């Protein structure tokens, strides 16, 4: 067991994490229908993607506030149990260097290899930005995902599995990573596997640095690629039918 993850959850703190986990289970179960509805909403409005980013950012910061309640009000849980501490100077330099490397690779891929929308799975293609304003909001979503998803999963849920369920940190990390992957059920099996593997890698980074800083920056850099740094062609409206042509139906 890692020395800094040693929470003592009281009944209230355990209940908060249990309710938060239950909310995610319901969300996962409803995700196929939710994604279909979200796509219809986005495609029906010219500002649909920006509205999506606003809702995403607001909802994840609210979820993070809920996840932090055991730290704020539970005497047996402190910020270290959630990885809320800075590593040493070397760790900070490593985190910033890895972030810059990831962001640079994505930018180079877009600049020189011309990453295309056609290569993106259709389950997520409708979310990706087509305009500069959408990319700006997409950057907000990427940093929100890096901070909030890591705080909830690698911070709160991992601490809950170690301190509440008394699991070994690596077993807890594997289960939390799978849970994180299942949250991407709407992307199909490749999405579940890919995000579960990413979650496991983020757990390793967290355990070996003792801080969420590196997982947060890596996560943000990965999401910055599709949501802010890549440039996808703008959508073109369907051509109007010629005058005098019969209407459908």
pLDDT digits (tens, 9 = 90+) for 163-203: 989 999 999 999 999 999 998 887 888 889 999 999 999 99
Q: Is residue 223 part of a domain?
A: yes
Q: At residue 240, does pLDDT exceed 50?
A: no
Q: What is the Cα–Cα distance from 144 to 183, expressed in whole angstroms?
A: 16
Q: Is residue 247 part of a domain?
A: no
> What percent of the chain stands above pLDDT 70?
85
Span 110-124, pLDDT tens digits: 666 555 555 566 677
Residue-range definition of the domain harbouring residue 77? 11-229
- What is the tally of structural domains in the chain? 1
What pLDDT, on the 0 to 100 scale, is given for residue 239?
Answer: 45
What average pLDDT does this structure show over 29-48?
A: 81
- The string over 107-126, giving b where at least 16 C-beta atoms fall within 10 Å of a residue's C-beta and e elsewhere, is eeebeeeebebeebeebbeb
Q: Is residue 237 part of a domain?
A: no
Q: Is residue 201 part of a domain?
A: yes
Q: Is residue 88 part of a domain?
A: yes
- The pTM of the full predicted model, rounded to 2 decimals, is 0.86
What average pLDDT does this structure show over 26-45?
A: 81
Top mean-pLDDT range of 37-41, 67-71, 206-210, 231-235: 67-71
Q: Is residue 240 part of a domain?
A: no
Please calculate the CA angle 75-78-84 and round it to the nearest 5 degrees.
160
Pair of tokens at residue 103: 């962001």
């Amino acid at each position: 067991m890692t020395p800094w993850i040693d929470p003592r959850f009281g009944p209230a703190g355990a209940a908060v994490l249990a309710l938060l986990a239950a909310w995610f289970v319901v969300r996962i179960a409803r995700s196929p229908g939710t994604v279909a509805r979200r796509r219809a909403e986005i495609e029906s409005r010219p500002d649909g993607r920006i509205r999506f980013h606003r809702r995403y950012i607001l909802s994840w910061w609210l979820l993070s506030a809920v996840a932090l309640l055991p730290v704020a009000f539970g005497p047996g849980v402190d910020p270290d149990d959630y990885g809320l501490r800075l590593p040493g100077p070397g760790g900070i330099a490593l985190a910033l260097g890895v972030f810059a490397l990831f962001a640079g690779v994505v930018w180079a891929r877009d600049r020189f290899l011309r990453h295309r929308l056609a290569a993106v799975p259709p389950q997520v293609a409708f979310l990706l930005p087509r305009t500069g304003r959408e990319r700006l909001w997409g950057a907000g979503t990427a940093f929100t995902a890096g901070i909030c998803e890591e705080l909830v999963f690698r911070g709160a849920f991992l601490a809950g599995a170690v301190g509440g369920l008394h699991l070994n940190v690596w077993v807890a990390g594997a289960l939390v990573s799978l849970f994180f992957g299942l949250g991407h059920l709407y992307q199909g099996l490749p999405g579940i596997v890919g995000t579960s593997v990413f979650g496991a890698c983020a757990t390793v980074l967290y355990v070996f640095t003792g801080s969420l800083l590196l997982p947060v920056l890596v996560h943000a850099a990965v999401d910055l690629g599709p949501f802010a740094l890549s440039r996808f062609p703008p959508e073109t409206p369907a051509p109007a039918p010629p005058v005098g042509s019969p209407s459908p139906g």
